């Protein structure tokens, strides 16, 4: 009878050791958060939409984590810390923004935001200027 107790005790000890050996060896995994900023939108240009309104278009960022885009207008003011004012945040599928009526010379830039909230660098600026040689119409140029 003593040998059965020894075998039972030995089995219990081996089972306990096997259970404890597995503790802490498994790795818990969760969603991976990408905190790196996405690539900036490229090829930002001024164009006209189907209704003839002036709009900004851009190539979508190749980054897979893009959640939205943000369109900024340069509008310096002593009342704000930043001279760049957020106008809109189009969805990831949108690559066009119709420009509001604004001053004769206005500069715009686009950035994109990742799922984790990281912002890309600002795109190259595009500027709308009045063109007096065409009777006061708008002229467009991109600046680097």
User: What CA–CA distance (Å, rounded) separates 62 from 110?
Assistant: 15
What confidence tens digit (pLDDT) does each residue in 85-125 have? 898 877 777 889 888 876 667 899 999 999 999 999 999 99
For residues 66 and 144, what is the distance between their CA atoms, to the nearest angstrom? 24
Domain ranges of the chain: 42-142
The Cα-based distances of 113 to 23, 81, 120 in angstroms read 40, 21, 6
8 A C-beta contact, residue 103 and residue 119: no
Query: In the CATH scheme, what is the homologous superfamily, with its name and number, of domain 42-142?
Result: Immunoglobulins (2.60.40.10)
Q: Which two tokens stand for residue 44?
A: 């930002």
The answer, as to whether pTM is greater than 0.95, is no
Q: Give the model confidence (pLDDT) of 10-52 as tens digits.
A: 555 555 555 555 555 555 565 556 688 999 999 999 888 888 8
CA 125 to CA 75: how far, in whole Å?
Answer: 13
């Amino acid at each position: 009878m003593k040998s059965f107790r020894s075998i039972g005790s030995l089995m219990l000890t081996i089972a306990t050791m096997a259970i404890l050996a597995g503790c802490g060896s498994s790795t818990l995994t969760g969603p991976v958060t990408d905190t790196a900023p996405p690539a900036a939108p490229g090829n930002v240009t001024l164009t006209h939409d189907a209704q003839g309104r002036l709009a900004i278009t851009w190539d979508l960022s190749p980054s897979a984590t893009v959640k939205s885009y943000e369109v900024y207008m340069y509008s310096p003011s002593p009342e704000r810390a930043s001279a760049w004012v957020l106008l809109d945040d189009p969805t990831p599928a949108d690559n066009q923004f119709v420009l509001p009526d604004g001053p004769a010379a206005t500069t715009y830039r686009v950035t994109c935001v990742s799922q984790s909230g990281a912002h890309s660098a600002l795109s190259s600026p595009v500027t709308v200027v009045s063109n007096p040689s065409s009777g006061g119409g708008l002229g467009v140029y991109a600046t680097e």
